[in-house]
Amino acid sequence: MTTTQERLALMSHEPARRQGTWFRLLAAVAVIAALGIGFALGSLHAGQNQIGPEDERRDFTFQVIGYKTPNQGGQVLNMYFHYRYDDGIATSDIPNYVDLRDQALNYLDTVDLSQNPYWETLNQTICDDLHAKFPIQAISCQLQAYPDDRPGLPYEPGYHGSTDTIGDIEPLAVPGPVTP
């Protein structure tokens, strides 16, 4: 049997023992919760980085550099095109970019330029036509006119132009070449 002094000594240590047990229990719960949160966040992050066939995007870009157009007295252009094919397009259905290029150049060669249309108008028509006639869901087209200081024409300093974008694709923003 225990004496009264031994019982009192044991009872005086009981709160400390209970605190230690609670501390260990709380620490275990905190570790389990942290692991659970880490697992959940890791699963979300991993899911965002996994690209399945339904998320696949197929894009293409091309450029036409130094094209002399009859517009605005024979202005010279750089043209840039970035487009995204229709979702799930079969490889056999991908158009040759030369066909898109020819379409754009043919338009510039045959449009009635008697009114000297703005670059924005020409670019919008080109972009709309390519979007409508080819299996592409989104497109961004940029026309960039060269600086022009020829006598008898309005002075046009620096590279300047228009960007037209249709659909879910980043608009092109190609800077003009740096000239001395």
Residue 11: per-residue pLDDT:
55
Q: What are phi and psi of 129, to 5 degrees?
A: -60, -45
- Top pLDDT among 69 and 168 is at 168
Distance CA 153, CA 125 (A): 25
What predicted TM-score, i.e. pTM, was given to this entire model? 0.68
In a domain, 128, yes or no: yes
Residue 157 pLDDT > 60, yes or no?
Answer: yes
In a domain, 34, yes or no: yes
- Give the domain range for residue 58: 54-166
Element (H or E) spanning 14, and its range?
helix 4-49
In a domain, 118, yes or no: yes
- Top pLDDT among 99 and 36 is at 99
Both 106 and 152 in one domain: the answer is yes
Which residues have a Cβ under 8 Å from the Cβ of 73 and sit 6 or more positions away? 148, 150, 152, 153
Residue 10: per-residue pLDDT:
54
Q: What is the CATH number of the domain that holds 112?
A: 3.30.1130.10
Per-residue pLDDT, averaged over 48-66, amounts to 76
In a domain, 176, yes or no: no
> How many independent structural domains does the chain possess?
2
